[in-house]
Structure 1
Amino acid sequence: MQKHKKSKLRLLHQYYKYTGFYRFIWENTKKALLPILLFIAVLLFINYRVMSINDMLLYITNNLSDTLIFTVFLISESFLGLLPPDIFIAWTKNSESPLLYLTFLAFLSFSGGVFSYYFGRTLLLIPKINNYLEGRMTKHIQNMQKWGGLLIAVGALLPLPFAMACLAAGMIRFSERYFFLFASLRFLRFVIYGYAIYSALS
């Protein structure tokens, strides 16, 4: 039984290697590193030249409503994930209930992915829009067809476009059951990043 399991894992490894999955992860991680490094550099510049990060986050907390911040985050997570979730995770540290806010943030991020998934399924009913997006998202759709749930899991955990993976999953009618299973890893990302960011800001 153990030998059969190892053989199956070896076959999966060969499949992902042959189809370029590992190369895809590496290339996209490298692309994501530059914006992340620039973001960190800007934060460090602000922290040492303008005002401390904690003071800045406190200013945001005191001058912007929680509802506005949560709304902006939900919109971002539902449409291509234009804003880094890390900014919002850092913001929760200075909130009234950091862990509660962080949990709600994770739920909104997950909900944004769910919205993208069902939006993708809905687009199938509108031929013109579906054809347009299929042309624009050919690579994403092809990758989803090759790697399925693993691509959703990677998008949920790593600094890769989670919303795009969810949209592509919806457009190929990826199984709802397995979509929710893999997309739920988004909560784990917020636990890990939350711990790291809270520790850094302590």
Structure 2
Amino acid sequence: YQDIMLGVDECIARGAADPERLLVTGYSYGGYMSMFIIGQTGRFKAAVPMAGVSDLASFVGTSDIGFWQTIQSKGYPWDPERESYYRERSPLSHAPRVTTPTLFIHPENDLRCPIQQSEQFYMRLKMIGKVPVELVRVPGAWHVGTTKPSQDFVFDEKALEWFRKYVDIRLEEYMPQAGKKT
């Protein structure tokens, strides 16, 4: 988290980012990190975590690569000496501090980062009731793809739509072809 924020600060210092228009998104580990970031800081105007992990302990038991987390974390979540390690690094634990409007986008058939990871965080934020929060489920999609070409753009379109609610995004300045029908 801290290294990412140092990068954000450097971009701001160089004039490459506007501190009043910061947005955060990511997919898979980037989805996890997006969730973690919004539990640490309120600097971002909106967030769109995609296919991320919110609870490392439940990830161990539900992901097709859950064993990897036990290696990374040097133990199991049920080991008394590792419980706090898992809790501190799980975005779900920091949900009460979230002040960033958040849209979760998750493939329904994701075995790598099961959809319950986004559902848990979504429900927690919904119950806390401090920020706008939505969840988009992508039917038939899995961690690395979709079953229909029409679904391929769901992630980008929904994210852009969400971000535009909170920040004036003018893609045309950077991509002249944006918004033009071909």
- Give the TM-score of the pair, scaled to structure 1: 0.29
Greater radius of gyration (CA): 1
Structure with the greater relative contact order (CA < 8 A, sep ≥ 6): 1 or 2?
1
Name whichever structure is richer in helix by fraction: 1
- Give the TM-score of the pair, scaled to structure 2: 0.31
